Structure 1
Amino acid sequence: METTNHFGSGASRSMLENFPLFRTSDPDEARDRVSRVFCEHRLRVVSGGSRVGAEMYYRPIRGIGIGRMRYGASVAIDPGSLESFALIQMPIHGSEVVEHGGNTVDTNADVASVLSPSLSLRLRHGEDTEKLFIKIDRGVLERHCRQHLGGELKSPIEFCPAMSLLAPRSLPWVRLMKWLYEEVGQDSQGQGVILDSPLFAAQIEQMVITTLLLCQPHNYSDRLADDGPSIAPSFVRKVERFVEENADEPLTIGDLAEEAGVSTRSLFAGFRKYRNTTPMQYLKDVRLRRVHEDLLRATPQLTTVTTIAGRWGFSHLGHFTVDYKRCFGESPSVTLHR
């Protein structure tokens, strides 16, 4: 079944062709290149000989990545678990069998897979299968979920692994994906508004994650559906937006309280009650995420960890490295040299 039923006429084998990442017939090269975008995994060609016709098109947008890929052969893929990201896969041709957290999902043009970071995973990718995908950084996903809930997550987010693209609750996701792929696809020179504007990119990131959290069932769905008193007051959300947009500025707690229009005491109380953190820790977390994003994009021969950390206000490299490892599970130098 063609994707024009769901994602419009742009969902074809020319989609995202302005962002080619690789094309190869070598299975080992395909595994290596896919690992760089996702994670280490085992790849075995099941049928169709020892060669593949693999290709991937990919564009990161802050904490998410949008892409299209195929293997051109029937392959078995075993990553163990994704660990650091969630992955939504939407076949536009063919099918894929997904074994995930004890469940089996037969995906096709009507059924997408929603893969949680912490659950076991194995895939069987059909020879004629091609898929769109959305990759979401685990830390960014959990942060958005915490913000909506107004509290900490006591366990990892676990989604229902099957998403029916025909179900009424999935229609907002389908409409958003159709718009997003078409918008990015028009950016033929890499100069589109999504990529030019950090503010708009942040809104895209938030829209994708919020739509997923509201459309696809998961272990926090019931809490998200509760519009009770856990929703943070407007001054907390205002400061969060202000920090996101001005994290590169030398902000103080006084600056944040002035922006919120409340006392520093009220600001601390609001963040402690509804976010289980402090305003300045929230600022540090945002800056750490920005460093992480810059390190992933940087060329090691042209910059250093110290330069990028300093750009985001981290002057003590030792303390910064400890905080970075705690957030991302690796040293900043490892991230830079990926």
Structure 2
Amino acid sequence: MKTSTTPVDIQKAATSKIENTDFNNLAFGQVFTDHMMICDYKDGAWQTPKIQPYGPLEMDPSARVFHYGQAVFEGMKAFKDEEDRIWLFRPEDNFERINKSSERLAIPAFPKEFFFAGLEELLKLEKDWIKKGFGNSLYIRPFVIATEAGVSAAPAKEYKFMIICSPAQAYYSGEVRVKFSEEYSRAADGGVGFAKAAGNYAAQFYPTNLAKDEGFQQIIWTDANTHEYLEEAGTMNIFFRVGDKLITAPTSDRILDGVTRKSIIALAKEFNIDLEVRRVSVKEIVEAAKSGDLKEIFGSGTATVINPIVGFGHAGKKYDLPKLEDSYAGFFKDKLTKIQYNQAADKFNWRYQVK
């Protein structure tokens, strides 16, 4: 893809916060860079993208996002290689997915040229916030909210598309244990589970808090009809290794089509790892854990990349997984991060350079 030539209005911040930022002690998503990109939708069209100093928004209390939840978002990362070049990882997938999410919530599609022009100009301004070294990155959060004033129950006619950035290190720290859901559901057939709709995540917080009280960090959600099939975790797609076979659930209107998930599937095929994309039953995984055939569970996502899971709980019982020297989780994380940081060949053409 060629660098966009779409004009972007830029107002630079008078001062920078970077000198007061401790990059060795970053809490995920708590520190933000100096600028943000904003583009308004009004009179039936998206206006010229703008970059301005990061700061609060002024909105009407009746803005429809507050009342009817028209809000979708994405998660991306920028990486810097040893020659100070900036790279994105599969950004077109994120662009396509935010518009797919938007369509499901009756939000107008955002133009591709605006997305890449605004994103690239923003990253060039914030280049010093992107630190070199594996584990360091700049987390990028594009999102859209309905801003039209009024509380009538109808899609808004005005929206705000924004991109904010946050320097990041590893998303999770410590050991991660998950609970297989037996009661609550993340999404149902015909719903918005495939979309990165803000409400999807809000609805997960309460049952996840209950699981945390039991000593788990995440829930692996099961199908809403029977709770017999494992689907995805709150912030991750999920993979299971039974023996030497890698298994993951297929995408559907309940499961997010994760960019990292798709990348793992492609790498598994490239390196001839036995892979099945099919429904995964709770019974199958519990029995594999009991027999010792369950070798790994790991999550995948933009923020976490690959997150090994050390154990799970179901029906009041807890199961620990073995600690492996040659894990699939470690293998895929190594392959992916080397591509992302421009330390390995990119035969899939996933990298996108910001020039």
TM-score, normalised with respect to structure 2: 0.26
1 or 2 for the larger relative contact order (CA 8 Å, sep ≥6)?
Answer: 2
TM-score, normalised with respect to structure 1: 0.27
